[in-house]
Amino acid sequence: MSENILNTAASQSEPPAQRPPSKIELAITFIYFYDLAQAMAFYEDVLGLELEIDQGWAKIYKISAAAHLGLVDQAVGMHRANEVKPVQLCIRVADVDAWHTWIASCDVQGLTVAKSNFQLGIRAFVFNDPEGYQIEVQSVL
């Protein structure tokens, strides 16, 4: 109870914190790998991503103007790679069928056929990267 009184007293004497006026400049999603070199080769060679920031054990790739993907060596990063991959990377492209043809030629695991989903207004397919993260490629219908 005394803690609540202290918090109330502090909040009355200090102005409330405010969100900084500047906007978020960049979004980076980090995913963790057992084999960083294999992951780098896949994301560079198959998806054509370019290395934007090299932090040694973390490699940050530009996906679009403000979206980036960070590949992290799990032996050093804040988290460990896991067999369960609850993250899906989704990329939007102009021609999903051309991408499907390309990805099919790359010997990837888990490749589905491209399907149209009229409820969502997309045409999409999925496949897995070398360590099992699912990647969805979609186009607007």
Question: Average pLDDT, stretch 50-68?
Answer: 95
Task: For 69-127, write each residue's pLDDT tens digit.
Answer: 999 999 999 999 999 999 999 999 999 999 999 999 999 999 999 999 999 999 999 99
Both 90 and 56 in one domain: the answer is: no
- Which are the contacts of 141, defined by CB distance < 8 A and separation ≥ 6? 116, 118, 121, 122, 123
pLDDT at 22: 85
pLDDT at 9 > cutoff 90: no
Q: pTM of the prediction? A: 0.82
Residue 55's pLDDT band (cuts 50, 70, 90): very high
pLDDT mean across residues, the chain: 91
In a domain, 90, yes or no: yes
pLDDT at 11: 54
pLDDT at 121: 97
Both 119 and 88 in one domain: the answer is: yes
Exposed, middle or buried: residue 42 (CB in 10 Å: 0-12, 13-18, 19+)?
buried
Question: Average pLDDT, stretch 19-37?
Answer: 91
Biggest CA-to-CA distance, the chain: 66
SS3 59: strand
In a domain, 11, yes or no: no
* Domain total of the chain: 2
Both 95 and 140 in one domain: the answer is: yes
Count other Cβ atoms within 10 Å, centred on residue 67: 14
CATH number at residue 130: 3.10.180.10
Count other Cβ atoms within 10 Å, centred on residue 139: 18
Both 70 and 87 in one domain: the answer is: no
The domain of 113 spans 83-141
Both 134 and 88 in one domain: the answer is: yes
pLDDT at 43: 98
